[in-house]
Amino acid sequence: MIIHHQGWVHRLLHSLSRQAKESEKARLMLEEALGHAYEGLLITDVDGYILKVNEAYARFLETSIPNLVGRHVTEVIENTRMHLVAKSGVPEIAQLQKIKGHEMICSRIPIFENGKVVAVVGKVMFQNIEDLFSFTENFKKLKTELEFYKSELSKQLSAKYSFDHIVGCSKELEWVKDLGKKVARSTTTVLLKGESGTGKELFAHAIHNASQRALGPFIKVNCAAIPDTLFESELFGYREGAFTGAHKKGKKGKFALADKGTIFLDEISELPMTMQVKLLRVLQEKEIEPVGSEQTEAVNVRIIAASNRDLETLVKQGLFRHDLYYRLNVVMLEIPPLRNRREDIPLLVQFHLRQLEKETGIPVEGVDLDVADILADFEWPGNIRELRNVLEQALHVKTGPTISRNDIPGALVKGNSATASPISQRRLKFITRLAEEEAIRAAIREEKGDRQAAAIRLGISKSSLYAKAASFGI
């Protein structure tokens, strides 16, 4: 028979030759992959005779590939089920099997052709069960670390305090707290006014936590700490290549981070005029424009602003925009200075001493009675922040179980004129609270932490005990 060039026989032979070469190439690639696989791999026919095996499986069985190929699987592998899977056609995934004293995890997968089993693939996932335990332990460790970092990030982006952390029972403070709780239920902008150290940030945290945005982020911005040149990029972010030194991927601003949450702008009076215009736009349009971007972005953010300077006076002086002031001053909470709510000082002293005791590990029973009067009569220009600072200093220098007048700064003692006076109403309240706190602590201690039994012992309701214990930090 004469085969003509480009004739149909010639083309058929050429096609068959090409297919054979491709099949051989695929076979070689498969064998190469099989040989370099980390896991042990084994292939048997439907009768259980070994067709292919890789080096990893042969090493595991402590033999060679030629010594395995062609033999029945039951001859060379103890406790095998490859031939049984060939009969049942049911795959077995991640099964435990003991070979040569080693516990291993393997899978047996049937291969079908035209609805019939033609082969079975066996795969050793872990050659020793201890490898799995090691892998699991490493996974748990990584998961724990991930959860820790997620928790730390969540702390950074969430509010820490609630209205329960705002200590005091004076009518001045209670009025502000009640208003704060009411305004928290809305989404309106809030302006916090008060001297430095009165607890404006505490109120911002509490309003966020009592709002419907409590699960959203809480982002704090200290306007007095940001250089004028960085205000725009810090608040609104920037796009890639917006300026020299910018991150390649750009950066999210504080407003974008606070989306669906609350942004707290502390020391808002320090905001430059140029930024006051841009902030006004955010309040009006509910959108921001990152540096280097030609498009605006919608943001859903509640703004809480705070200032220890009188913004109305700054408006009159031309240092603060009047339209921005009216936008911020929808609801104003004016937090009273400590000198205007002196009856709260004993409560604050006890609360902060309990906190400092936990933080420093230094035990303290309280303050002496003359110290209580000195603290109650001082003007406290730095308010609660200054009071806490004085207590912390005294805690580190005290020599006895309580804080005495020798442990507090001399300026406080010199500035006090009531130390020689008879017991005042404030001292009486303080003594009463000390006795009440000690009685509650003793009852809970004697009842081994059972607060229901402690309430019965004290002759008060359980709810009253819980309320009082919370106020004392027990």
pLDDT of residue 340: 93
Q: Of the candidates 243, 350, 341, 256, which has an alpha carbon nearest to the alpha carbon of residue 298? A: 256
Residue-wise pLDDT for 49-75, tens only, equals 998 888 888 887 888 889 999 999 999
Structure tokens at 465: 């005990």
Mean pLDDT, residues 252-266 taken together: 92
pLDDT of residue 97: 80
pLDDT of residue 316: 93
- Secondary structure of the chain as H, E, C letters: CCCCCCCHHHHHHHHHHHHHHHHHHHHHHHHHHHHHCCCEEEEEECCCEEEEECHHHHHHCCCCCCCCCCCEHHHHCCCCCHHHHHHHCCCEEEEEEEECCEEEEEEEEEEEECCEEEEEEEEEEECCHHHHHHHHHHHHHHHHHHHHHHHHHHHHCCCCCCHHHCCCCCHHHHHHHHHHHHHHCCCCCEEEECCCCCCHHHHHHHHHHCCCCCCCCEEEEEHHHCCHHHHHHHHHCECCCCCCCCCCCCECCHHHHCCCEEEEEECHHHCCHHHHHHHHHHHHHCEECCECCCCCEECCEEEEEEECCCHHHHHHCCCCCHHHHHHHCCEEEECCCHHHCHHHHHHHHHHHHHHHHHHHCCCCCEECHHHHHHHHHCCCCCHHHHHHHHHHHHHHHCCCCEECHHHCCHHHHHCCCCCCCCCCHHHHHHHHHHHHHHHHHHHHHHCCCCHHHHHHHHCCCHHHHHHHHHHHCC
pLDDT of residue 127: 56
Quick one: 37-130 is in which CATH superfamily?
A: PAS domain (3.30.450.20)
User: From residue 280, how far is each of 283, 288, 303, 434 by CA, in Å?
Assistant: 5, 11, 11, 50
Strands 218-222 and 92-99 come out as unpaired
Structure tokens at 68: 């395995």
163-336 is a CATH 3.20.20.80 domain:
no
Residue 38 has pLDDT above 60, yes or no: no
Residue 269 has pLDDT above 90, yes or no: yes
| Mean pLDDT rounded to a whole number for the chain | 82
Residue-wise pLDDT for 116-164, tens only, equals 899 998 888 765 545 545 655 665 666 666 665 555 555 555 668 889 8
Q: How confident is the model at residue 473 (pLDDT cuts 50, 70, 90)?
A: low
- With a pLDDT cut of 90, the percent of the chain lying above it is 37
Q: How confident is the model at residue 429 (pLDDT cuts 50, 70, 90)?
A: low
Residue 111, classified by CB atoms within 10 Å of its CB into exposed (0-12), middle (13-18) or buried (19+), is: middle
Higher pLDDT, 293 or 80: 80
Task: Give domain limits for the chain.
Answer: 37-130, 163-336, 340-472
Residue-wise pLDDT for 189-221, tens only, equals 999 999 999 999 999 999 999 999 998 999 999
What fold is seen in the domain 340-472?
Answer: Helicase, Ruva Protein; domain 3 (1.10.8)
Residue 10 has pLDDT above 70, yes or no: no
